[in-house]
């Protein structure tokens, strides 16, 4: 009997960033790749996968199970299973911070609150109708200000006097920001104000789930130290951020793949898998 290759891949086809993670059976991270989802990449999830495989030095056939998650999960043709980003993030968070019960994830297109019990997702809230309060808000503003996303955090930490932006709508806030700048308001105060706005929205949403400290903060926006600080202030408590907050969903996906396989093996069931062939993915649901 041929031994199963024990590598697992998780692909998180997010609205903004596509993340791929490959782990081995010991939950060791063999490779991680991130790439802008961007319009043209939306159809090309396979490229990112290819890159991750190359980095891990593995042929695709060696991957025992592929789980796709994220906004575009439905259309990753080579995935063995699609699992929602809620479950995947929870799994990722549980592995990174065992015992944690509340998590906040702010990505490009939504913000989510997760409630965990014994390492499993038990409840959640989600905000995905309006770009205000999501990573997209910060992207738009960064673009307006001609700043890199990565700069926003450290810049805002310099502010002693965050200004509040009166427009909630991302589009109008963008314009308000330019006006404020021309009024001579320091850049860092504006950025800090925006971070506060995002944080207070997110924490407001998170409150719908009785918050039990400590809170883990993941998703691309958790890379922004300014938002992290604002979330911490808003919660009035400690906030844990993983070293690599972007990949918690992809990591969770890979781990879930492992779980699925193990469970099946324990029951002696065979698992149905896709052909290991990279193909184009589209972003919108095919009708």
Ligand X SMILES: Nc1ncnc2c1ncn2[C@@H]1O[C@H](COP(=O)(O)OP(=O)(O)O)[C@@H](O)[C@H]1O
**Which residues contact another protein by CB under 8 A?**
15, 39-40, 42-43, 83-87, 109, 120-124, 126, 128-131, 136-137, 140, 167-172, 175, 178-179, 181-182, 204, 207-211, 282-284
Per the listing, tokens 């149905």 go with 272
Tell me the CA distances in angstroms from 65 to 89, 236, 240, 248, one per residue in order: 18, 41, 30, 17
**Of residues 107 and 252, the one with the C-beta less far from ligand X:** 107
One character per residue 259-278, x = contact with ligand X (rule: CB under 6 A)? --------------------
Q: Measure the CA–CA gap between 94 and 119, rounded to whole angstroms.
A: 5
Closest approach, Cβ 244 to another protein, in A, equals 23
Least Cβ distance, residue 284 to another protein (angstroms): 7
Of 73, 85, 107, the residue nearest 281 (C-alpha): 73
Report helix, strand and coil shares of the chain as percent, to nearest 5.
Answer: 45, 20, 35
Q: Is 130 in the site for ligand SF4 (CB under 6 A)?
A: yes
Q: Smallest distance, Å, CB 25 to ligand X?
A: 26
Provide DSSP, 127-160: E-S-STTSHHHHHHHHHHHT--HHHHHHHHHT-S
Nearer to ligand SF4, 159 or 170 (CB): 170
- Name the DSSP letter for residue 168: -
Q: Which residues bind ligand SF4 (CB under 6 A)?
A: 130-132, 169-171
- Residues near ligand X (CB under 6 A): 14-17, 37, 70, 107-109, 135-136, 138-139, 149-150, 219-221, 223-224, 246
């Amino acid at each position: 009997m041929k031994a199963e290759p024990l590598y697992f891949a998780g692909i998180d086809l997010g609205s903004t960033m596509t993340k791929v993670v490959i782990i081995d059976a010991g939950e060791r991270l063999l490779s991680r790749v991130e790439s802008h989802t961007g319009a043209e990449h939306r159809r090309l999830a396979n490229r990112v996968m290819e890159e991750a495989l190359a980095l891990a030095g593995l042929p695709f056939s060696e991957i025992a199970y592929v789980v796709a998650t994220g906004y575009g999960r439905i259309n990753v043709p080579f995935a063995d299973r699609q699992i929602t980003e809620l479950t995947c993030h929870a799994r990722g968070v549980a592995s990174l911070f065992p015992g944690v019960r509340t998590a906040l994830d702010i990505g490009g297109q939504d913000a989510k609150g997760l409630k965990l019990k014994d390492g499993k997702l038990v409840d959640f809230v989600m905000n995905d109708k309006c770009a205000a309060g999501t990573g997209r808000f910060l992207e738009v503003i960064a673009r307006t200000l001609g700043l890199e996303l990565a700069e926003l955090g450290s810049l805002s930490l310099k502010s002693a006097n965050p200004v509040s932006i009166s427009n909630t709508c991302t589009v109008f806030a963008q314009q308000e920001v330019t006006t404020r700048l021309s009024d001579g308001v320091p850049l860092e105060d504006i950025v800090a104000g925006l971070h506060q706005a995002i944080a207070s929205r997110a924490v407001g949403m998170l409150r719908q789930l009785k918050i039990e400290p400590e809170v883990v903060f993941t998703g691309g926006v958790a890379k922004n130290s300014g938002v992290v600080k604002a979330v911490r202030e808003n919660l009035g408590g400690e906030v844990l951020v993983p070293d690599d907050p972007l990949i918690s969903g992809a990591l969770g996906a890979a781990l879930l793949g492992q779980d699925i396989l193990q469970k099946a093996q324990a029951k002696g069931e065979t698992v149905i898998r896709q052909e290991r062939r990279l193909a184009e993915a589209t972003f919108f649901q095919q009708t």
